[in-house]
Structure 1
Amino acid sequence: MTDQYRKVLDAELSGLGLSPAGDPELRIISNIAWAVRRSFLKILLVAFICAVAAYILTYASDTKYTSSAKVMIETRIQTETQFTPQVSGLPLSLTSLESELELLRSADLVESVVDRLQLQEDPEFSAGDAGFSLSPIALARGLKDGIVNAISGGDSTAIGDLEPDELLEMQRAATVEKLLDSREIEQIGEISAVYRISVTSKSPKKAANIANSLATEYLTVLTRMKRDDLSQSQQWLATRIGQIREDLNTLSSELEAHSIDTPFSPEEYATIKAQRIKSEKRAQLVSAESQKLREQLNALQLLIDEGKIPDAVVYASEVRIMQFPDAEETPEDQAAALKTAIGSSELKLEVLRNQKAELDESIETFKEQQIRQVQHDSITKRIENEALVVEAIYRDFVAQLGRRAEQGDYLDAGAHIIEKARVSVDPSAPKRSSTAVATMFAAIFIGLGFTVVHELLQKRLRTTFELESATGVKLSAIIPEIREEPTFETFFMDKGKFDPTLMHYGRKLLASSAIGLRTMRNDDESTSPPAADFFAKNLENKHGKRFSEEGCMIFSGASALPDEGNTSSLLLIGSVCAQAGYRTLIIDCDTVTSSYRDLSQVTVESLKLATNQPLSFEDNIVGTPQDGLDILPLIGVKNNTAQNEAVEDFLCSPAFLNLLHSLSASYNTILLDTPPLLSAVESGYLSQLSHRTILITRWNHTSRKSVLQAMRELENAGVRPSALVATRVDLKRVKLYGDPILG
């Protein structure tokens, strides 16, 4: 790779907005940008044409008028607590605003207006007059209906088979649907309570009438809903009042019956309470006295058990269990008196115990009587409380029912019409300017989208980077396309002359180091053998060898597909070589798309003769208007299958090698015009016979896949192209692809 080529390649990969080779995503973005740049004027032109067409089509569309009415939900706070028309009691919030919006959009509201105005008899809304509209929604709906009808095969039920009621119902449903499409409900602002009701119709008066009817019907529906709520609440209050009245009567009867079963009168209950208190006090005294006597007896018994009889007598006298003994009494008498006193105390203790038991029994009796009375009083209190609560509810419900009795005649809808719909003077549709501008922008965006998708999906080779990355071969030269003067025909009709531009690029190709003709005579390498001996001895050294000064250089032109410009390119190369002083021969080996069939004089017999006498083909060589350039057309008539098969066999036989060996003595350069690599198997073999192979691809036409397959065919044949040539390059368009080399 030369320094100049490196510089140019760096400019290609990093200059003019192109991304480096290591950034495929940026390169794709760059290609998309160049594609948009190339197509932008076309897109603008198509968009302008679409806008003009849309503007013209608006005159064929129906002229419609739109009228709008405005309603506002009551937002003022009600300060009157005794009477309020806001029966529902719902607060005004975002939720209620959205709910009212859905109510305005309901089909039942539209259905009521249809019935009131009898719009089912109006051709505009009864689907009898479809009309023509440029609305995107209408167009999309029409397309959807058309697709559905095409798939389903239309409606299988004939209109004549329907009953009159069914037909009227279908017509009414169609009218409702048409009016739903013709009206528009929107909230003015995001949190306001004002709604706009817009209706579009062919008649401005009809549009205003329907809009006002929708607004009025909305208020009527609100009033009816409140009246229904009021009626339901009144019915519920009346029913509930009757139930409460029955409950109140039941409680009164229960209270009277319970009062009759009172266990004790208040005086008796007071006596029982006093007797219980008295008995409890007496029981406490008896219990204390009994406890005291028991402790005294225990103390005496302890002294007696210890043998302290005198002390026991003294203690008994002190606690008054017995009298103090006389001085004359003996200890025995004192002991007997003590024993008698202890016995009396024990009897007294037993009497106290019996009294305590009787008192406890009396207390329990009094307690049970009190419990009975308390339970009876609590039940009585509960019944009285329930009666009071039920009576309070009864009075409140009766008061509410009385307030609501005449409220239905004064109910307010809770909303107002703040602006009635007026007859519109200016039509609302079609909006010609808006339609044209919208169509133009839509066409531009569609065109840009199509351009981007097309650029992402396309696989054609257009830039130096794409060509070289697909082939792995340096791009040696380009051959421009001259549309006014076809290359092949011009050469034979204009005395072997080419367009000056073609000649310029042809000389550049000849000067390329990949071709090597300029250095052929100055090369000091050893002489190469003829082609037949060369391939018979050493196929691998063909790229490093050439014939001597008196010898010949064999080139083959290879292409992936037909119509790649292979024949024209080789003809240009041959003409340039001839003008440079190289005697050149073009051998037509293209068995698929030969352009020299009319010049061919080869027959099956001559092919058989050439097997043993290669020089016999010299009689079939045809001269050209260019001195030093001859052509050997081997391909005959296209429909002659036998001759074509014979030519194919001849090209792959040793006789063709002998022919090349014989002709190399007479020519400095031999160009093999081979068939497309993907169309003929002999193309790879013919490339093996040449010293250098020129891979020819058509600019902005050959796909990357085809070139890769062609390179695989050459690789299988052991051939690597020496040069890459892009043909039929549009010099004006190539500048629009961001390629600094080709551009």
Structure 2
Amino acid sequence: MSQISATMNPNSSHPIDITPAHEQEFAGFGQLFSSLKRHRILLCSVAGGTFLLGGVAIASLKPYYQSVAEVAVGARGMISPSQLSPYADHALDLVALNTQLRIIKSPAIALMVTQRLHLADTPEYEQALRPSILSKLKRSLGLQTAEVPLTHEQHEELVSDLLMQRVVISNDGRSAILEITARSATPNLAPAIANAYVHAYLDFEQQAKIQAARNASVLLEEQIAPLRERAIQAEQAVSRYRQEHNLHLLGDDAGNDADRKGRIALPATTNDVRLTQMNRELGEAEADLARKQAIYNQAESDGNIETITAITASPLIQSLRLQQARVNARISTLAATALDRNPELIAAHAEAARIDDQIATESRKLLQNLRYEAETAQERVNALKERTNTLQANATEEEHADIRLRQLVGEATAAQSLYRDYLSRVGQISAETAIQQAEARLITPADQPLGPAGPPKKQYGILLLLLSLALGTGAALLRDRSRSTLRTLSELEQQTHLFGLGALPRFEGSLRQQLSSRHSLYGRMLNSMRAILTFGNPSIRTKTTVITSAVGSEGKTTLAISLASSVGALGKRTLLIDCDAHRPSVLLSLGLNETADGFIREALPGMDIFVASQSSERGVMNFEALGQFLEAHRDDYDQIVIDTPPILSFPEAGVLASFAEGVILAVKWHHTPASAVLEAQRILRTHHANCLGAVLTFVDIENLHPEESVRIGEYAYYRKLVSAP
């Protein structure tokens, strides 16, 4: 081609689409490694400091010892086997098991262990409860009020709370064995705490059973006193009546004739026979009433209807218990193999809840039936008494004394029978209280550990190393990402979507020397950029080109002079127009003086210069005159380059861009932020300017990082020529 570009319509072709693909927006491993290498000092400082501090903290960790004890809960946690379900003893009652687990985890057990082992006086727990250095400092500075001295009981409660944090009690969900793991700083204290927990739990269970038996005994004793008084009064009434009416029973009163109280030395009559039978039925009815009333009163006072044989022996209750055992077995199996939100596990829990509700409902119905039976027995006793009274009213005067005596004997017999029954039950409960044992047993006592269980310093060290590297890498990447300036053509294209036309290096000496030297690195890189503009995509070939920048001091004037001079060096006619009305610097850069008409011919080989701001008021650009000038001289030159002021400082530069077919932005290396370039693009778009691309200026070839020299690293061989004249 004979010129940089042919005159063309800017809309005839589209700008180069250098929008990166989605995966190209992320840095590759090479860029990541380069970023880490660039900030290796920061990476090593952060990682080393973190590892050093963490290592000191890990080294200062004191060893601790763990000891494990195992205890099996009692048979109440199991369902009794039967012919219908021979394997029911393997079905755990999870509710009962969880209840025992909560009991052994309770603060009451922890307080019992604390008091038994005198943990409040051990150095380990005394040191743990001492105020921290920070608290002492705040107290000395008056920022914190002095704490009120604790009582011995409060001190023990604090120690028990701390103890609960150092003891782990767990169950595998498949057995009735509880595992107690105690942790301590001394090897002797860890097994002592674990074993003390077991013994405290066993004692707690035993005391609970003994207390329940004592409560039942007290209740029966409260009922025995009036029964004894009633039996004595009945016997006294029989004795007084016999003496008053000169009556006696057949046989010796002191003998062992069981029927002597039912036979009277009087002729047997019809009323006598009926009254004898009626008194016998009345005695049986009163004994039955006393038994049913005692069962109902015990169930109502204890609140535990499951201990009543009349309820537990119900076929319906037994059937529901069997269903409950099966459902609990299924829950145990699902809990060991499925998650909490498993539909089958949720359905099994719902079924178990439904069966529990049904058992409770049926139990209440049976308890209500017991009350009805007691009331019915009372009504029967009342009916028998009424019938007895009727027979007594019909009795003759001679039979009246005998009937009354038999009635008194029947009442005395019933009172004595009820009294003996209650007395027997009190003796039985007293005997059971003396032999009560907890429904749990120690399986494996805790032994003294052979060595410390932790802390796992090796694992902590590995995690600390990984964490230190991660923090160091994160700090390096954060430092790299926090940088907003542009350093490479790839960053320029990725962040601004502008085509990177090339890069111009920093140089020493005058611009004229760089342009006139054949071996100048600056000239070589300039020729590379000119080749892109000459033989590249048609969309970047323009005849009239505006050179501008986002902010000042980015080398736009140097770029404009260099581009125009490069074209002129090929023997083409080039016109450079200085349109910076605020600070014209083209002539100053080349060491030239102003002329009267602002026109300087052959300022450099093949390049003329026109200072447009010289023909108008300083600081004000005459756009109409500039348009007429361009129209008049367009055909006289092969290439026209227009130098404008910074577009963000002087937005009228966007108007100047509308006079040209394309715009090139100068971007200073390691100086211009991407946000400034994007804002300059936005202003150019408002004036429908065709942005051809951008050029990195003032690149320090000697100090390029590896990732920065990817597209301009071929010039590394010529670095020694940077400062050449």
Structure-1-length-normalised TM-score = 0.52
Cα–Cα, structure 1 residues 656 and 41, in superposed 2: closer, same or farther, change >3 Å? closer
What corresponds to 2:434 in structure 1?
405
1:460-493 CA-partner distances (Å, limit 9, x unpaired):
999999969977xxx665213x6xx416978456
Q: 1:272 to 1:94 in 2, by over 3 A?
A: closer
SS at match of 1:681: coil
Query: 1: distance between equivalents of 2:410 and 2:650?
Result: 117
Residue equivalent to 1:681: 651
Q: Verify: 1:249 aligned to 2:249, yes or no.
A: no
C-alpha distance in 2, partners of 1:585/1:106?
A: 98
For 2:501, the equivalent position in structure 1 comes to 478
Amino acid at match of 2:218: T
Deviation of residue 214 (structure 1)? 2.0
Deviation at 1:594, TM superposition (A): 7.8
Distance 1:374 1:167 in 2: 75
Distance 1:105 1:629 in 2: 100
Matched, 1:157 2:148: no
Instruction: Name the SS of the counterpart of 1:647 in structure 2.
Output: coil
Q: Is the 8 A contact 2:34 2:707 kept in 1?
A: no
**Aligned match of 1:39:** 32
Quote the residue 1:435 is aligned against: 461
SS in 2 for 1:70: strand
TM-superposed deviation, 1:725 = 3.4
Q: Matches of 2:486 and 2:416 in 1, distance apart?
A: 98
Q: Taking structure 1 as reference, are residues 232 and 562 closer, same or farther at Cα in structure 2, changes over 3 Å only?
A: farther
Q: What per-residue deviation string (whole Å, max 9, x for no partner) do you get for residues 164-197 of structure 1?
A: x25999988887777776x353648665533322
Structure 2 residue aligned with 1:725: 694
- Tell me which of 553, 568, 576 is aligned to 1:578: 568
1:83-232 equivalent positions in 2, closer than 5 A? 95-96=98-99, 98-99=101-102, 102-103=105-106, 108=111, 112=115, 115-116=118-119, 118-119=121-122, 124-127=127-130, 156-159=143-146, 162-163=147-148, 165-166=149-150, 183=166, 185=168, 187=170, 191=174, 193-199=178-184, 201=185, 207-232=186-211
| Pair 494,470 (structure 1): closer, same or farther in 2 beyond 3 Å | closer
> Quick one: percent identity of the two aligned structures?
14
Any idea what the Cα deviations from partners look like across 1:588-619, whole Å, max 9, x if unmatched?
4457898769649999xx8xxxxxxx853236
Query: Equivalents in 2 of 1:679, 1:231: separation in Å?
Result: 94
Q: Deviations over 1:479-529 (max 9, x none)?
A: 13x6xx416978456454416344323311233323436xxxxxxxxxxxx
Q: Residue 478 of structure 1 aligns to which amino acid in structure 2? A: L
2:605 paired residue number? 627
User: Could you tell me which amino acid in structure 1 is paired with residue 179 of structure 2?
Assistant: V
Tell me how far 1:245 sits from its aligned partner: 0.6
For the pair 1:444 / 2:470, whether they are aligned, the reply is: yes
Match of 2:52 among 53, 56, 60: 56
Whole-Å Cα distance in 1 between the matches of residues 487 and 152 of structure 2?
66
CA contact (8 A) 1:50 1:440 kept: no
Q: From the superposition, tell whether residues 735 and 387 of structure 1 become closer, same or farther in structure 2 (CA, over 3 Å).
A: farther
SS at match of 1:419: coil
User: Residue 245 and residue 514 in structure 1: after superposition, are their counterparts in 2 closer, same or farther (change >3 A)?
Assistant: same
Counterpart residue number, 2:259: none
User: Over aligned residue pairs, what C-alpha RMSD do you find?
Assistant: 6.3
Counterpart code for 1:516:
R
Within 2, Cα distance between the matches of 1:37 and 1:106? 62
Q: Unmatched 5+ residue regions in structure 2?
A: 1-8, 78-91, 242-261, 276-385, 394-403, 712-725
Whole-angstrom CA distance in 2 between matches of 1:712 and 1:507 = 28
- Which of 584, 589, 597 lines up with 1:616 in the alignment? 597
1:187/1:177 CA distance change after superposition, 3 Å: closer
Counterpart CA distance in 1 for 2:167 and 2:121 is 20
Aligned AA (2:225)? E
Displacement of 1:556 in angstroms is 0.9
User: Are the structure 2 counterparts of residues 237 and 505 from structure 1 closer, same or farther at C-alpha, using a change threshold of 3 Å?
Assistant: same
Residue 242 of structure 1, CA deviation: 1.8
Quick one: distance in 2 between partners of 1:174 and 1:380? 67
What is the CA–CA distance in structure 1 between the aligned matches of 2:689 and 2:664, rounded to whole Å? 9
Q: Structure 1 residues 602, 734: CA separation in 2 closer, same or farther (over 3 Å shift)?
A: closer
How many angstroms apart in 2 are the aligned matches of 1:153 and 1:574? 77
Judged with a 3 Å threshold, the aligned counterparts in structure 2 of structure 1 residues 632 and 242 are, in CA distance, closer, same or farther, namely: farther
Matched, 1:648 2:629: no
Report deviation, 1:98.
4.3
SS at match of 2:530: helix
SS in 2 for 1:720: coil
User: Residue 73 of structure 2 contacts residue 100 of structure 2 at CA under 8 Å; is this kept in 1?
Assistant: no
- Structure 1 residue corresponding to 2:528, chosen from 473, 497, 504: 504
The number of residues matched between the two structures is 523
Please report how far the alpha carbon of residue 76 of structure 1 lies from its aligned counterpart in structure 2 after TM superposition: 7.5
RCO comparison, higher one (Cα < 8 Å, 6+): 2
Structure 1 residues 685 and 411 mapped into 2: Cα distance closer, same or farther (>3 Å)? closer
Post-superposition CA distance 1:626-674 (Å, at most 9, x none):
63446667899xxxxxx9x95321x245555576678769754332222
Letter aligned with residue 440 of structure 1: L
Q: Note the C-alpha offset of 1:716.
A: 3.7
Distance in 2 (alpha carbons) for counterparts of 1:559 and 1:116: 77
Q: CA deviation at 1:428?
A: 3.6
Contact 2:579 2:644 (C-alpha < 8 Å) held by counterparts: yes
Q: Distance in 2 between matches of 1:593 and 1:652?
A: 15
Give the drift of 1:65: 1.3
Please say if residues 74 and 416 of structure 1, whose CA atoms lie closer than 8 Å, have aligned partners that are also in contact: yes
Partner of 2:446: 419
The code of the aligned residue for 2:178 comes to A
Match of 2:619, SS state, is helix
Q: Cα deviation per residue 1:68-89 (whole Å; 9 max; x = unaligned)? A: 111111358699xxxxxxxxx9
* SS of corresponding position for 1:156: coil
Q: Deviations over 1:449-470 (max 9, x none)?
A: 9979999999999999996997
SS in 1 for 2:541: coil
TM-score, normalised to structure 2's length?
Answer: 0.53
3-state SS, counterpart of residue 686 of structure 1? helix
How much has 1:721 moved relative to structure 2? 0.6
Structure 1 residues not aligned, in runs of 5+: 20-26, 80-88, 131-141, 202-206, 274-367, 518-552, 607-613, 637-642, 738-743
> Which secondary structure state, in structure 2, belongs to the residue aligned with residue 208 of structure 1?
coil
- Structure 2 distance, partners of 1:706, 1:119, is 69
Q: CA contact under 8 A between 2:203 and 2:438: conserved in structure 1? A: no
Task: State the one-letter code of the partner of 1:400.
Answer: I
